[in-house]
Amino acid sequence: MVETVERTVINIEEEDFEIYQSIMQKPEWKGKTNIELFTIAVLIGKFEVKKFQPLNKQKSYIRVKDNADKDEMTLLKCLAIMENEDVNIIKNEDEMFKITEGYAKTGIRKLFEWYEDSTQYITELISEVLTDKFEKNESEFF
Amino acid sequence: MIFKSIHLENFRNYKGPEELSFADTGDKNITIIQGNNDTGKTTMMNAITWCLYNKEKNSRDSPIYNRSVFNDTEINEEIPVKVKIKMEDSQGRDVEISRVNKYFKISKDECSLPDKDFRIILDDGENCSPVTYTENFINTHLPKSLEDYFLFDGELLTQFFEKDNGNIKKDVFRLSQLNLLDNVIKHIYQRKKEYINEKEKTDPKYANLLDEIDELEKSINKDKKDLVNEKESIKKNKDYIKVLKEQLNSYGDDPLKLFEEKDRLKKELKNLENKEKSSILTHKQFLINNFILIYGYSALIDIEKRGNDLREKGFIPSNYKKAFLEYLLDQNKCICGTELPIGSKEYNEIEKLCERTSEITDISDKINELLGRAKSFRSHYPQKFVEIDDKKENEQINLEDNIENKKREIDEVQLKLEGIEQNDVQKINSSITHYEDLINQSNRTIGNIETNLERDEPNLKQLVKDKKIAESQMGIMETIDKKIKFCEKVYKSSQSLYDELVQSIHENLQSLTTEEFNNYHWKDSYKKIDIDQDFNVTFIKKDGTRIPATDPSAGTQLTLALSFITALNSLAGFELPIFIDTPLGRLDNDIRENLGKFLPQYTQDKQVILLVTGNEYSSEFKNYISPYVGESYKLEVNSESGKDITKVI
């Protein structure tokens, strides 16, 4: 029999909860879900900050079951596989989500920093990093 | 009537006899009676009205005898209260009016009802005789109805214009003695009616004709008068509009249009700002919506590569799952369910197969599902991201440029409106609309009147013709006819004289009140005092707007009331002094100073008696008024047996 480890929730660093809340209250985030913000935080942590930090004190943020069919959940799993360089990690949700949680911790703080430092120019800033990434994708994958 | 002196005895806080002479008319026509509050100034006014009309101006319930005298008086002894005013009438005769109430003290707390005596003595230098019909004398020479126009309470003057306007008109006519002429008109009209009645008895048809002519003439006269008034009113209102339009023109470009333009630009600016806000928001949402796919694309590609690799190795889809093969070996069974002894050929085959099969086959379903989902997600990759992003950015840049341009346009309009208040312009504009409405109203009234006249004048002509025919047929009653014609003549000329006088009084009163007010008052924002045909008094401000006389501050109202009353006194034929109690209390220093400067000029040849407090009688006011002061008194209070006693010094 194959042994699998399952997770009920994805966690965030407890002290970052207020940051998540404050970002979600911004008008452009209206209608967005926790998993969308969390995934963006993971991506920023992985590709911009490029730093993993394990959680000190965790706080439940996303219910896995409720989001199982979402594209964001697919991406989180793909990221964990890419990071681990082994598809077998798919059996162990705990290990998989620990990777995403560690990148989300550094990523959400970066996103908050962007908002704090350039309230007026946040659009330009995000547009710029996205365009860079888009162009990089173009040259690498298309 | 010239007031020569007043003698007071035991009247309220005046103990024993006190006498004051008033300054005569002429160069030094002003009497100053100075006293602080509660020293007896108002009591002096009350003594005058008590003496003349047996009623105090400000009536009080307490007994009028002096309380200190009462305390000093033994029981059954008499307390005489007396006020005597000496005057000189227009024929140079001395007039002495005295009122005495004799009280008897009947207990330590009260007096009996008084014995009353009121007498008027006329002395023409040769004969000295009492007037028999004292009330008639007072009504003719000093009617109580005029009391409000020679005895004033300064504190109450601010309420002067709160009176019903009809009353002010009546008062003005009474003071100007127009009522005498009015009586003549009424009387002659009555006589004419009587003659017509007399004729009616002889020839009812003819008398009826006269009645009709009379009614029609009256109606035509009224219409003609109304026509003149309406035309004047149009002229006046057109003048106001002209002044207001000149004021608007003085602002340069049409300020109303500029304010409208500014409002329009501001609205457009607000729309642009909202658009910009909304555009920024949708741009942000666009970025957030595409963030995950763009940033996570490499992970999606990575899983795809891994998937291809596993496919090539035949792990996905898998023919066998490693866990299933292990289970068969563990149970010594074939896939078909038959027993497989360890070491048998079939058992060994399954064992080899199990060794060749990767563990990944156990999770191939999960991987397959993930690959499918990743592929589907990847298919939504925003190929035109940069294009759309640029478009959105350009849209914002355009909006920012438009906002800047709009702000510049607003600044340019604002520059033209520098120093112009929108409220002022709106006020002027609404005043213009108001006057235009009045003109339209007058035009409608004129139209109605002209229609009436077009109908009535030919009718009148016809009636006059009929009357002549009737007269020639009758050939009698010449005497009555002559009387009727005489009455008509007198009636018409009296009426026309009356109209001329009303017009003249009105115009003079308006110009004199304006002149006086502008001299007294420091504020040059009031251009003119307007007194309309019904004697409604309004201020016309420099900007042409009108405000009622009851609107400004108490000081301004008091100044206006003083101007109006002194102007009225100068114009009226009545010879009475002006008494004003506390006239300056509510006035600012500069108005007081102006009053001191100009009051003597406007009250020339009139006796003026001012009852003032020490504060009111400031050095500035005093400096100006001193050359015209003929008599000056000071009222002081001493305390006797616990009661305050006024002494004249």
CB distance B170 to B161 below 8 Å = no
Omega of the bond leading into B317 within 30 degrees of 0 (cis): yes
Write out pLDDT tens, residues A31-79: 999 999 999 999 999 999 999 999 999 999 999 999 999 999 999 999 9
Write out pLDDT tens, residues B184-205: 888 888 888 888 777 777 777 7
Q: Are the Cβ atoms of A131 and B389 closer than 8 angstroms?
A: yes
What are the residues whose beta carbons fall under 8 Å from the beta carbon of A50, sequence distance 6 or more?
none
Residue B607 in this model has a pLDDT that exceeds 90: no
Write out pLDDT tens, residues B102-138: 999 888 888 888 889 999 999 988 888 898 888 888 8
The strand order across the sheet containing B115-123 reads B17-21, B2-9, B78-88, B94-104, B115-123, B128-130
Q: Which residue has the tokens 């900050």?
A: A49
pLDDT at B234: 93
Give the strand pairing for B94-104 and B78-88: antiparallel
CA distance A105 to A79: 15
- The single-letter code of the amino acid at B552 is P
Query: B24 falls in which pLDDT band (50, 70, 90)?
Result: confident
Interface of A with B (CB under 8 A): 1-2, 27-29, 32, 36, 39-40, 43-44, 47, 71-72, 74-75, 77-79, 81-82, 87-88, 90-91, 122-124, 126-127, 130-131, 133-135, 137, 140-141
**Burial state string for B24-51 with b = 16 or more CB within 10 A and e = fewer than 16:** bbeeebbbbbbbeeebbbbbbbbbbbbb
Chain A partners within 8 Å of B285 (Cβ): 28
- Average pLDDT value for residue range B425-431: 87
The overall average pLDDT reported for chain B is 85
CA distance B563 to B557: 10
Q: Give Cα B624 distance to the centre of its chain.
A: 34
Task: Specify the range with the lowest mean pLDDT, choosing from B93-107, B218-232, B301-315, B566-580.
Answer: B566-580
CA distance B272 to B283: 16
CA distance B11 to B53: 15
pLDDT at B523: 65
Q: Are the Cβ atoms of A36 and B292 closer than 8 angstroms?
A: yes
CB distance B299 to A78 below 8 Å = yes
Classify the C-alpha dihedral B562-B564-B570-B574 as positive or negative.
negative
Q: Are the Cβ atoms of A79 and B299 closer than 8 angstroms?
A: yes
Q: Are the Cβ atoms of A74 and B294 closer than 8 angstroms?
A: no
Q: What is the DSSP letter of A48?
A: I
CB distance B6 to B83 below 8 Å = yes
Q: Which residue has the tokens 């480890």?
A: A5
* pTM of the predicted protein model: 0.49
Rounded to the nearest 10 degrees, what angle do helices B165-175 and B554-571 cross at? 30
CB distance B239 to B530 below 8 Å = no
Neighbours of A36 (CB within 10 A): 20
CA distance B466 to B265: 74
